[in-house]
Amino acid sequence: MKAYVVEKINDKFISGIKEVDIPTITNDEVLIKTTYSSLNFKDALSSTGNKGVSRNFPHITGIDLAGIIEESKSKLFKKGDEVIVTGYDLGMNTNGGHSQFVKVKDTWIIKKPKNLSLKESMSYGTAGLTASLSVNELIKNDIKKEDGDILVTGATGGVGSIAIAILAKLGFNVIAISAKEDKIPYLKSLGAKEVILRSDFDTMNKKPLNKERFAGLIDTVGGNILNEALKSIKYNGVATCCGLVSSYELHTNVFPFILRGIRLIGIDSVEAKLEKKDLMWNKISNEFKIKSLDKLTKQICLDEIQEIYEQMLLGKVSARYIIKF
C-alpha cells in the first residue's frame, strides 16, 4: 500500500510517499481502508520530527481519518462499517491516516453519524471537532448571542474558520483576527461580521485590562494574542484555548479573572473520552452542521502533502486540506 512516511536518516528527517506492507491486526483491532484523511498543524510538526508529536521513526503521519472497515478482530465493529478516527495516539507514535490502510484499536473509533458523509467528516476532521468542542464550551457556560461579540483568533486556520462558521450558524456575532488582509472577504463569507488585522491586535500593551469588548473568545494561537484577548473579555465572559501557533507561553495577569470573573477553559480533542467525541460528532452532523464546508475545504492527493506541510509551518494556509484515497 502507499503511505506518507517520515524517516530519520543521519539525524535528518526525510519524508515522502513509500510502498509499505499492509498492517496485520490482532484482537480488539480493525483494519480500516482509508477513504479520506486531513492535514493538521500537528501533522506538519510530526513531519519535521518535532519531538512533542512523534519520537518513533519511520512513521506515517495523519492524526485523523474516515474510512470503511476492511477487516475486524473487534466485537464492536464489523467489515463494511463506516467510521471516523481522531486523536489518541493516531499519527503521533502510532502510524496515522496518510495511508491506504490503517490498523486501529477499537476503543479509538467512532461510528460515522448517518447525517454526515465520509468526505464531510474529514472536511471537519480534528480541526472541526476542536472547533465544535470550543463552541460547545461557550454554550455550556451560558454565553448567549445577546451577550455580545465572540472573538476567534487564527481565523483562516482549520479550527478558526470552522469555529467562525458554526458560531455564525448559531446566530452569534463573530469577530475574527487574521494576518491575511486578502482573506477578509473569505472570512466574511464564512460568517465573520468584522475582521481585525493581527498586527493591530498583537501589540505590546502594558495595561492590565483593556476595554470590555467580547462576550466570548475561541483562541487557537496562544501567546500575546491570547493575553490581549483575555484582557478584553467582558464581565463573566468565557474564553477557550486550544492551540499554540503563536506561542505555547501565556504571560498574563489575574485582573480579568478576579475583577471580571472571566473563565478560561482548555480544549483537548485528542484524549477526550470516546463518548464526548461521539456526542460532538452527532452535534456536527446536526445543529453544528455548516453550509460553507465546501468553501473552506480543498481536496488533494497523497503526493501533494509535503507542499502543504511547508505552507502550514509558515502559517500561510487558509483552508482545510483533505486527502482523497
Ligand X SMILES: NC(=O)c1ccc[n+]([C@@H]2O[C@H](COP(=O)([O-])OP(=O)(O)OC[C@H]3O[C@@H](n4cnc5c(N)ncnc54)[C@H](OP(=O)(O)O)[C@@H]3O)[C@@H](O)[C@H]2O)c1
Contact present, 50 and 247 (Cβ < 8 Å): no
Q: Which of 59, 98, 112, 198 binds ligand X (CB under 6 A)?
A: 198
The answer to whether residue 37 forms part of the interface with ligand X (CB under 6 A) is no
What is the per-residue binding string for ligand X in 103-122, x denoting contact by CB under 6 A? --------------------
Residue listed under C-alpha cell 486501529: 104
Q: Which is nearer to ligand X, 6 or 192 (CB)?
A: 192
Name the grid cell of 248: 505555547
d(CA 235, CA 216): 10
Selected from 15, 35, 36, 41, the binder of ligand X by CB under 6 A is 41
Q: Which is nearer to ligand X, 5 or 312 (CB)?
A: 312
Q: Tell me the per-residue interface mask from 147 to 176 with ligand X, x by CB under 6 A, - otherwise.
A: -------xxxxxxx----------------
Q: Which residue in 37, 42, 77, 165 binds ligand X (CB under 6 A)?
A: 42
How big is the CA angle at 235 (ends 272 and 242), to the nearest 5 degrees?
25
Dist CA 60 CA 98 (whole Å): 6
| DSSP E strands, 98-182 | 101-105, 109-111, 150-152, 174-178
3-state secondary structure 208-251: CCCCCCEEEEEECCEHHHHHHHHCCEEEEEEEEECCCCCECCCC
Stretch touching ligand X by CB under 6 A, among 13-21, 206-214, 261-269, 297-305? 261-269
Residue 179 makes contact with ligand X by CB under 6 A: yes
Give yes or no for a contact between 29 and 37, defined as CB atoms under 8 angstroms apart. no
CA–CA separation, 19 and 2 (whole Å): 5
- Which has the closest alpha carbon to 13: 54, 56, 49? 49
Cβ proximity to ligand X: between 113 and 157 the closer is: 157
Min dist CB 148 to ligand X, Å, is 22
Q: Which residues contact 49 (CB under 8 A, 6 or more apart)?
A: 6, 8, 13, 57
Member of 136, 220, 240, 285 binding ligand X (CB under 6 A): 220
Cα torsion at 162, 170, 223, 49 (round to 10°)?
-30
- Specify the residue, 102 or 245, whose C-beta has the smaller distance to ligand X: 245
Of all residues in the shown chain, the one whose CB is closest to ligand X is 157
Minimum separation from the CB atom of position 161 to ligand X (A): 8
Binding-site member from 3, 284, 312, 322 for ligand X (CB under 6 A): 312
221 forms part of the interface with ligand X (CB under 6 A): yes
Q: Amino acid letter at 21?
A: D
Q: Which is nearer to ligand X, 17 or 244 (CB)?
A: 244
Q: Does 297 bind ligand X (CB under 6 A)?
A: no
Least gap, CB of 180 to ligand X (angstroms): 5
Interface with ligand X, residue 34, by CB under 6 A: no
Q: Name the minimum Å distance from CB 41 to ligand X.
A: 4
Tell me which residue has cell 450558524. Answer: 169
- Residue 42 CB, nearest approach to ligand X (Å): 5
Does residue 127 bind ligand X (CB under 6 A)? Answer: yes
Q: Pick the piece of the chain touching ligand X (CB under 6 A) from 38-46, 51-59, 96-104, 140-148.
A: 38-46
Cell numbers representing residue 179 in the block: 494576518
Please identify, using beta-carbon distances, which residue of 91 and 243 lies nearer to ligand X. 243
C-alpha distances out from residue 296 to 7, 107, 147, Å:
31, 30, 28
Binding site for ligand X (CB under 6 A): 40-42, 126-127, 130, 154-160, 178-180, 198, 220-221, 225, 242-246, 267-270, 312, 315, 317-318
